[in-house]
Amino acid sequence: MTHLDIEAPVAARPFFFSAGGVSCLGWFHAAKAPRLGVGVVMCRAIGYESMCAYGAYTQVAEQLALAGLDVLRFDYPGTGDSAGDDAQPKRLQSWTDSIVCATQQLEKISGCSEFCLFGLRLGANLAAHAAGQLGGVAKLILWAPCATGRAFARELRAAAFTRDRSHDGQREPVSGDIESLGFLYTAQTLAELDALPGLPVDGLLADRVLLLDRDDRPSAKQLLAALQSRGVEATCALAPGYAAMMNEPRETQLHASTLTLLKDWLLADLKDKKDEADKPLPRPLVNADPEKPCQHQFDGLRETAVTFGGASGGLAPKLFGILTESEREQAESGCSDTAILMLNVAGNYRIGPNRIYVHMARELARAGCRSLRFDLTGLGDSRTTEGFRASHLYSKDSRPEVRAAIDFLSAQGCKKFYLLGICSGSFVAFQSTLADTRVTGQILLNSRLLEWREANPDGTWQDSMQQAYKSVAFYRRQLLDWRVYRRIFQGDVDVSGIANRVRVLMTARLSRTLTSAFRKDASDSGPLQKVKQLSRRGTYTLMIVNADDDGRDYLEFHFGAGGKYLKEDARFQMTFVNDSDHTFSDQNGQKSVISKVKAHIGVNDSIAQKATAELSQRSGGV
């Protein structure tokens, strides 16, 4: 992979705009002088693919802005940080309409008179249809567009079928709805996809079209012929890096040659404009009033785009997040003093895997809590020129950033702070809780590691926890299912990998037992003792574990089956979610997690209120 030689980007400005009555989050990347008077609207992919490509899209927007182009990227209704959810009706039309609205917004903001729509996968198809509605679009970039909406829906159904089989068919479809790759697609949305042609039936889509083919499975020749037959000046090129970019969010990479290809094609006929670029163009600023918060209100909630940290906090750059609150809470009793900080999972940006943090933040706000989902350095929109590195996943370097988030919320009137994270996010939560006495509680979901012991020379035990398997309890249960043996004989089961995982676990348990038996001075300074210390400090710990997740082995190694080593500790709880996955991507898993989090915080608050009332009565009686 060829990495980018990235120049420091011009700061992007977030803002909310209405698209068909739904509030959407947009990011405006102002062109660096000399400006060329051309605007680019970035149309995202859909579902899991949009998560994978988020970092690459941001890099494209930044580098195009540096080349003199004004760029707008945004979240469709019901996606990302925008209002709405997967169950909304007429989603395809709302997505297409939002591209039209975004283009109009960019025209107002930048003063540009010429526009290019850029789309990836289904976003490319949506961009083409929006171009047909807009008319007069100068350029269109389609990266790996779907042959048709039906072809995309077929991929979704295949992925959903594979997941249902892996869960023994226990999931019941609801009136034709499916859950695919962590997102819900209603029967209506699927029907709309089935009816969506790859390109609009007629009309000139744009003056020029660049068709970027994928490097893992080229398939653009037929679409190129269709465009040329309609008199479109269309060019097709192979864009390296597609497969790597779409692998998973934490491995998002943008190939340097692809970025060069994009810029060269966009700027090819703009050389003459560079000579005229000194002529000022009208450009009203987004959120021109610095005192006016960037926020939107919907469904009784208020969400505000915030930045914090930066130079004053010893951090560079500033960190970005979304603060979610209840409008009713604000109107009736002022802002809640309880805040939940949601920490990045691997390379996923602040919305969390499959948007779980968005759903959770909004449900918690309705229950009276404030929440901040934010990006650690190098992730999402807390951008750095160096970008995200996998070594950040289990690094204590994130603790100052979490401390800066607590400082920010404290300044907003919050007094109780819960740190919440899934997998690597739980590591950051645990380490930050240990370091900051202001933390009221930690909520750790599917933890695979809570501390990294550098003294371990071979790292066998820790390394094994980073390999995706199921829990020993799952494999023990599977031994009673005759269908498993058929899969073993067919070679569909990684028997050696599973056996090695169980061996490593058993060896670690035996080693600990022998150490305790033969060394009187042996003491556990690991997670168990540290959670005990936190409990004595008054800090709550809630561990939520998918019953079949491999992280269960790690947690039960340290805390006992079901957390029995701490069963007498009123501030500790380990609870399980059945039939989900590592990131709780399914709807039922997310609902169960959110319900447990709400109940945990509610119980803690009631206990604290009771203790305060009793203390007040005793004080009054003295």
The CATH number for 495's domain is 3.40.50.1820
Crossing angle between the packed helical segments 495-518 and 551-559, to the nearest 10 degrees: 10
Point out the domain boundary residue: 276, 302, 332: 276
Q: Which amino acid is at 599?
A: A
Distances (CA, A) of 352 to 79, 458, 460: 12, 32, 29
Same domain, 341 and 244: no
Same domain, 229 and 371: no
Is the pLDDT confidence value at 602 over 90?
no
Element (H, E) at 261: helix 256-267
Least Cα distance to 118 among 67, 52, 42 occurs for 42
Same domain, 97 and 217: yes
Position 289 scores a pLDDT of 56
Element (H, E) at 501: helix 495-518
What are the tens digits of pLDDT across the range 539-565? Answer: 999 999 999 998 898 999 899 999 999
Asked whether the bond before 317 is cis by omega within 30 degrees of 0, the reply is yes
Position 89 scores a pLDDT of 95
Residue 181: inside a domain:
no
Residue entry with tokens 């012991």: 453
Same domain, 254 and 329: no
Same domain, 226 and 85: yes
Residue 288: inside a domain:
no
Distances (CA, A) of 448 to 388, 394, 462, 546, 581: 21, 10, 9, 12, 13
Same domain, 227 and 301: no
Distance CA 347, CA 355 (A): 13
- C-alpha angle 417-550-160 in degrees, rounded to nearest 5: 95
For the chain, give the mean pLDDT. Answer: 84
Distance CA 446, CA 58 (A): 29
Is the pLDDT confidence value at 8 over 70?
no
Residue 136: inside a domain:
yes
Position 568 scores a pLDDT of 95
Same domain, 271 and 336: no
Same domain, 483 and 340: yes
Strand 338-343 and strand 416-422: the pairing is parallel
Crossing angle between the packed helical segments 187-194 and 149-166, to the nearest 10 degrees: 140
Is the pLDDT confidence value at 3 over 50?
no
Same domain, 272 and 298: no
Residue 183: inside a domain:
no
Residue pair 205/223 in contact by the 8 Å Cβ criterion: no
Distance CA 473, CA 187 (A): 36
Point out the domain boundary residue: 276, 310, 330: 276
Which one has a higher pLDDT value, 281 or 76? Answer: 76
Question: Highest mean pLDDT: which of 5-19, 79-93, 151-165, 520-534?
Answer: 79-93
Distance CA 562, CA 97 (A): 50
Asked whether the bond before 282 is cis by omega within 30 degrees of 0, the reply is no
Domain with 321, as residue range(s), is 294-451+461-610
Distance CA 144, CA 153 (A): 15
Residue 195: inside a domain:
no
The DSSP output letter for 8 is P
Point out the domain boundary residue: 241, 276, 311: 276
Strand 370-374 and strand 318-326: the pairing is antiparallel
Residue 141: inside a domain:
yes
Which one has a higher pLDDT value, 388 or 145? Answer: 145
Query: What's the chain's Rg over C-alpha atoms?
Result: 26
Distances (CA, A) of 84 to 22, 81, 593: 7, 9, 20
Position 609 scores a pLDDT of 56
Residue pair 181/159 in contact by the 8 Å Cβ criterion: yes
Residue 353: inside a domain:
yes
Residue pair 325/299 in contact by the 8 Å Cβ criterion: no
Distance CA 285, CA 257 (A): 33
Residue entry with tokens 């399914």: 586
Number of domains in the chain: 2
How does 417-433 read in b/e, with b if 16+ C-beta sit within 10 Å?
bbbbbbbbbbbbbbbbb
Which two three-digit tokens encode residue 530?
């540290």
What are the tens digits of pLDDT across the range 226-262? Answer: 888 888 889 999 999 898 888 888 656 678 899 999 9
Is the pLDDT confidence value at 312 over 80?
no
Residue 163: inside a domain:
no
Least Cα distance to 318 among 14, 559, 1 occurs for 14
Same domain, 437 and 582: yes
Same domain, 379 and 428: yes
Same domain, 343 and 225: no
Identify the weakest region by mean pLDDT among 269-283, 424-438, 467-481, 540-554.
269-283
